[in-house]
Amino acid sequence: MKYALITGASRGIGRATAISIAKMGYCVLINYQTNQEAALETLRQVEELGGTGELLPFDVSNENEVDEALMQWEEQHQGSYIEILVNNAGFRRDSLMIFMKNEDWNQIINTHLNGFFYVTRRLLKSMLTKRYGRIINVVSLSGLKGLPGQTNYSAAKAGVIGATKALAQEVAARKITVNAVAPGFIQTDMTAELDENQLKGMIPMGRFGKAEEVAETIAFLASDKASYITGEVISINGGLYT
């Protein structure tokens, strides 16, 4: 059995990614923090399509929770390792910087940037030993362009982009690729409060993207077909920013 871990897989891009990677023959580990009902729905959809999966709850921003959950999983799956990691967990706390609270800054940095570090570092040793791995980080247009009202989110995602490029060079000789996808406006819970009719006028393709369109790009980067692609950030934004 081959395993893939998708953090924040209970909904949106994470759920669509779990489904896409399950179709590749992987047992998908569906990470979530609190919404077990939504995570179970992801698992149901994976199994409905003939795939396999497991729930793996932990808070990516909590180093101890990450280590304990992954150590326990390894003990229960002797001889196996997680060869695909999709760092997707995240949320927004938007505000102009002058009004931004410390906790809104810290929570975003801890979840997106520190979460990437805690989970990736924990799984990297096995990938290096086995001489194979795929790491895909879900970043954002905000991390490339910067968006007003998102200095915390932009900083966190830009940090992950820099880490993606650096780590890719560290591990390439061991046949581990590290890439990122940078979605623009995608129809998910995270963008549900935005006025799509108003914003789609800014997008050359004239619409928001779908979670499945992001997921299929992630699945490609996780496949052997992308074995010579590493350190890249692929924008998925309908031409909004190039």
- Residue 178 CB partners (closer than 8 Å, separation 6+): 135, 136, 137, 164, 167, 168, 171, 230, 231
124 and 177 Cβ atoms separated by less than 8 Å: no
- Residue 121 CB partners (closer than 8 Å, separation 6+): none
SS3 assignment, position 29: strand
- From the list 81, 153, 228, 241, the catalytic residue is 153
Phi (first) and psi of residue 95, to 5 degrees: -175, 150
Confirm whether 153 is a catalytic residue: yes
Rounded CA-CA distance 9/19 in Å is 10
Which amino acids are annotated catalytic?
153
